[in-house]
Amino acid sequence: MTDKQRQRYEHMDRPIAGADVSASERPGVPMEKTPQPLTPTAPEHFERMRPRRGLTHRREIHQFTPVFGTVQPLRGISGLLRRVAYSTHETHAKHWMTLLLADRVDVLEHRIAKLVKITALVPVGVAALVLAVRFFKD
């Protein structure tokens, strides 16, 4: 007789199929050791970060959340657009469209800055190449 068949036979007298068995018949009884209370993984109280000037937050929330990012400060036109977006309510489409526009402008700002760095280095590279050719020509 398989284990499943044995269980069906033992519990045939029960009026409801699938009813819970008594605590003494459950697997793991008796327990090898009593369960310990779970140790807390998070602290009871979060120390709030102090807000700095120039940070943005949703208009519906009057204070900052306990932890917020300060790694990337807002700068340039994209930062200005983000400030405009956070001055409107989150439920308006203007808020989200302005944030999307700010993301696109941020990408363009970074690409332009990268292009400026490359174009500043090109004349230096050309001058070094010309000097190397003259030096090895002699």
Q: Across the 138 residues of the chain, what is the mean pLDDT of every consecutive 10-residue run?
A: 78 64 69 75 72 67 66 83 87 92 94 90 85 83
Contact 76, 56 (CB under 8 A): no
User: Taking the alpha carbons of 51, 52, 58, 59 in that order, is the dihedral positive or negative?
Assistant: positive
Contact 109, 81 (CB under 8 A): no
pLDDT at residue 106, rounded to an integer? 93
pLDDT of residue 114: 92
Q: Are the C-beta atoms of 11 and 20 separated by less than 8 Å? A: no
Domain ranges of the chain: 74-138
Dihedral sign, Cα of residue 10, residue 15, residue 19, residue 25? negative
**Model pLDDT, residue 108:** 95
Whether the model pTM is above 0.75? no
